[in-house]
A and B are shown apart, each in its own frame.
Chain A
Amino acid sequence: MSTKPLTARLNQRRERPVATVPRTVLVMLAAALVAQIALKILQPAPSARAEALSRPPTADTLRALSFGEPIALGALLTLQLQAYDNQPGISIPFAQLDYGRVIAWLESILGLDPLSQYPLFMAAQLYGQVPDPAKQREMCSFVHREFERDPNRRWRWLAHCAIMAKHRLHDMPLALAYADAIARRATQAPNWARQMRIFVLEDMGEIEAAKVLLGGLLASGEITDPREVQFLMERLKGLQGAENSSSPSRK
Chain B
Amino acid sequence: MARYTLLEALRTRFPIMVLVAVALLLLISFFVEALAVTESARFQASVYAAGMRLAGVFIAALYVLVSIARELNDKGFDIVLALDLPRAHYVLGKLLGFLALAAVVAVVAGLPLLFLAPWEAVLQWVASLTLELAIVVALALFCMLTFSQLVPAASFVAAFYLLARSITSIRLMGAYPLAGAESLSHQVMSTLVEALALVTPAFDQWTETAWLVNQPAAWPALLAIGWQSVIYVLLLAAAAMFDLYRKNF
Contact = CB atoms under 8 A, between A and B. Distances in A.
Interface string A78-117: 0110110011101000000000000000000000000000
B169 interface: yes
Contacts of A37: 198-199
A55 to B, nearest CB: 15
A87 B176 contact: yes
A45 B198 CA distance: 11
Given A22-B88, A39-B231, A231-B179, A28 B248 contact: no
B88 A45 contact: no
Interface in B88-122: 88
Contacts, number: 99
Interface stretch (B12-20, B75-83, B238-246): B238-246
A121 to B, nearest CB: 9
B180 interface: yes
Given A36-B199, A230-B180, A46 B171 contact: yes
Q: How large is the interface on B (under 10, 10 to 19, 20 to 34, 35 or more residues)?
A: 20 to 34
B197 interface: yes
Interface string B215-249: 00000000010011001101101110110011110
Contacts of A80: 169, 173
B167 to A, nearest CB: 9
Contacts of A46: 168, 171-172, 202
A25 B246 CA distance: 12
Interface stretch (A10-18, A148-156, A196-204): A10-18
Given A36-B198, A87-B176, A234-B179, A16 B248 contact: yes
Main secondary structure, interface of A, reads helix
A72 interface: no
Interface in B166-191: 168-169, 171-173, 175-180
Interface of A: 12-18, 20-22, 24-26, 28-29, 32-33, 35-37, 39-41, 43, 45-48, 79-80, 82-83, 86-88, 90, 126, 227-228, 230-231, 234
Interface of B: 86, 88, 168-169, 171-173, 175-180, 197-199, 202, 224, 227-228, 231-232, 234-235, 237-239, 241-242, 245-248
- Which 7 A-B residue pairs are closest in the complex by CB-CB distance? A231-B179, A32-B235, A29-B238, A83-B172, A21-B245, A28-B238, A32-B234
Given A32-B231, A39-B231, A234-B179, 17 more contacts: A16-B245, A21-B241, A21-B246, A22-B86, A22-B88, A25-B88, A28-B238, A32-B235, A33-B235, A35-B231, A36-B198, A41-B198, A48-B172, A79-B173, A80-B169, A83-B173, A230-B179
